[in-house]
Amino acid sequence: MATHFLFLVSAFLVLSVSADVSIDCGSTDFYTDENSIVWMGDNDIIQNGVIEVVQPSNSISHVMDSLRVFPTRKKNCYAINVDKGEKILVRASFYYGNYDKKSSPPTFDLQFDGNDWATVVTSNTEVASYEAIYVTKGEVASVCVAQTMPDQFPFISALELRSLSSDMYSLADSNHALFTKSRVAYGSNVTIRYSDDFYDRIWIPALAGNGLLQVTSDFNPILINVSTGDNPPQAVLQNAITTSSTSQKRSFRVLRNNQSISDPILPPYGGVSEWTFSNITASSSTTFSLVATADSTLPPLINAMEVFYINLDKLTDGTNSNDVDGLVALQNEFAVLLEWSGDPCLPAPYSWDWINCSNDSVPRVTALFLSSFGLSGALPDFSSMNALQTIDLHNNSLYGPIPDLLGTLPNLKQLNLADNQFSGSIPTSLSKNNNLNLVVTGNPDLCTSGKSCQTTDTPTSSGYAGSGKKKSNNLPAILGATIPSFLVFWAIVGVLAILHHKRRTAAVAAMSAGPNRPTGAPQGTGINMQMAGKIGQAVIHEFKVNMEEQVNEELADQINQQAQDAGYNDSNT
């Protein structure tokens, strides 16, 4: 991990720029503090967490008196709108203050925009602050705290964001952030920040030690022509330290472990000399010295110093923007999902609980696991998430038609929509997709295979109504069952008529020459023929009536069965 040092050597400077956002975490107030900084509470910014206050005996300032603790979710994030490509300073502060009366300050991780930032180590009495300078890659900056140890709940006391000029801190670019290690105002006896420094950098005072002199311009301020990119504040440059030896010429070098790392530095009168040293590896035993050159008649002088470290790993680009857009659409439709914030996939151990992500450098969301989440409503358009392979939405209260957009997802292999309230037909892009495992059971209003349906709120012409939303259009099926029955009926009637004709002919012949007919009796009488005809007609009539009753019963059974298949019963007829 490289370390970046910035030395400011000057007499005086004047510069200002306005600040942006100051959040007093756990507070509900808007107020202005003694530094003229306007603070806002965080109730409208984050949904999760529990508001706590420090013990009265541990109170150190109004801002640090309240905090927000996160006993749930593996990471919780604040999101702040920014401009894409904007250079920002972000500062997060943590003050335990024994809020839980356990005297057990926690340790947890701090993250920004899907990147690891630091491990936060808190104490009972000290404020832990962490600061980063970087260039945003999107339109939202997120700062997250993540639990790393059981029963050690992350918290945050204050979060500040400041917009910087694009030409400041040139080593902070779109691929690397500067993490502040130290920022010192030599010779000052007070902390310097806004409004003396409108970028609201916090400069910690460092008084002169043995053999050093404090230099100040309290009584005779000098106007300085400032042209340095990092814009140190005038209040910082009004003080300095130097050695007690004085002469007329000031020239010196910067040494690291007694090895020179700079050319001779000659601070201009009434101006600023700013030196930046990068790609330096440093440790707690590393020493930096200001040593006068041989021809110098004045001792070295320093006004201020900033020290940063740089992570050699490049900043992530975050989760694929198409997937982020789709997840935002789901969160906008279903408020319960707003409990998850920050980058969906990154850092990898802290992805959202209900998604799976790929291991690509720019991760893709490959699965949604939203079963039993209490989702209610129609599905929004999240078709931009075209890397999805699995979608599990079962056991919710989703309604309306199954969206066609699901059929446009090219990599989808598993789709579970069971136990919801979907209605209408299943899109053919899903039902005919042989590569898709589709589950839609438990949706009573859904038209599954073998059924066609349409919505209605009125009874059908057959005398039975639907459930109020749909009815079954089963006329083709009923006709398909009824027409063959009538054909069979008339075929049987035809056969019986033929048989009747044959029997009638046989009966006439028998009456004409029957062996039991008395001798001399007339050859057939009209009354016997009529009786035979009536008997035959009675047989046919009885069979016809029986057939009609049977067909009517079969037809009624067909209608009843079709109605039951469509989700109706006799109470709706």
Residue 371: pLDDT over 70: yes
Q: What's the chain's average pLDDT?
A: 79
Per-residue pLDDT at 20: 86
Per-residue pLDDT at 168: 94
Mean pLDDT over residues 441-448, rounded?
92
Per-residue pLDDT at 519: 38
Per-residue pLDDT tens digits for 187-242: 888 999 999 998 999 999 987 665 666 666 555 555 555 556 677 776 676 666 55
Per-residue pLDDT at 551: 44
For residue 573, what are its two tokens? 């007829």
Residue 124: pLDDT over 70: yes
Per-residue pLDDT tens digits for 533-543: 443 444 444 44
Crossing angle of helices 475-513 and 526-565, in 10° steps, is 160
CB atoms within 10 A of CB 281: 10
Minimum mean pLDDT among 9-23, 153-167, 414-428, 457-471: which range? 457-471
Q: Distance between CA atoms of 124 and 223, rounded to whole angstroms?
A: 44
Domain made up of 321-444: CATH architecture = Alpha-Beta Horseshoe (3.80)
Which residue type, as a one-letter code, is found at position 270?
A: G
More confident residue, 260 or 345: 345
Mean pLDDT over residues 180-184, rounded?
95
Mean pLDDT over residues 92-105, rounded?
98
Question: Tokens 């939202």 identify what position?
Answer: 140
Q: Distance between CA atoms of 368 and 473, rounded to whole angstroms?
A: 36
Per-residue pLDDT tens digits for 2-50: 555 554 443 322 222 334 899 999 999 999 999 999 999 999 999 899 9
Question: Tokens 């033929």 identify what position?
Answer: 498
More confident residue, 540 or 319: 319
**DSSP secondary structure code for residue 292 in this structure:** E
| Spans of all domains in the chain | 1-16+182-312, 18-163, 321-444, 475-510+526-572
Q: Which fold has domain 18-163?
A: Jelly Rolls (2.60.120)
Percent of the chain at pLDDT > 90 equals 56
Minimum mean pLDDT among 319-333, 346-360, 387-401, 440-454: which range? 440-454
Per-residue pLDDT at 182: 94
Per-residue pLDDT tens digits for 481-514: 344 444 445 555 455 555 545 444 443 333 333 4
Per-residue pLDDT at 465: 32
Q: How far is CA 361 from CA 35, 116, 343, in A?
A: 43, 15, 14
More confident residue, 365 or 467: 365
Of 128, 174, 180, the residue nearest 3 (C-alpha): 180
Find the angle CA(466)-CA(471)-CA(474) to the nearest 5 degrees. 130
Q: Distance between CA atoms of 565 and 454, rounded to whole angstroms?
A: 14
3-state secondary structure of 183: strand
Residue 472: pLDDT over 90: no
* DSSP sequence for 397-451: EEEEEPPGGGGG-TT--EEE--SSEEEEEPPHHHHT-TT-EEE-TT-TTEE-TT-
For residue 211, what are its two tokens? 């053999």
For residue 27, what are its two tokens? 């507070």
Minimum mean pLDDT among 163-177, 275-289, 410-424: which range? 275-289
Minimum mean pLDDT among 147-151, 174-178, 270-274, 341-345: which range? 270-274
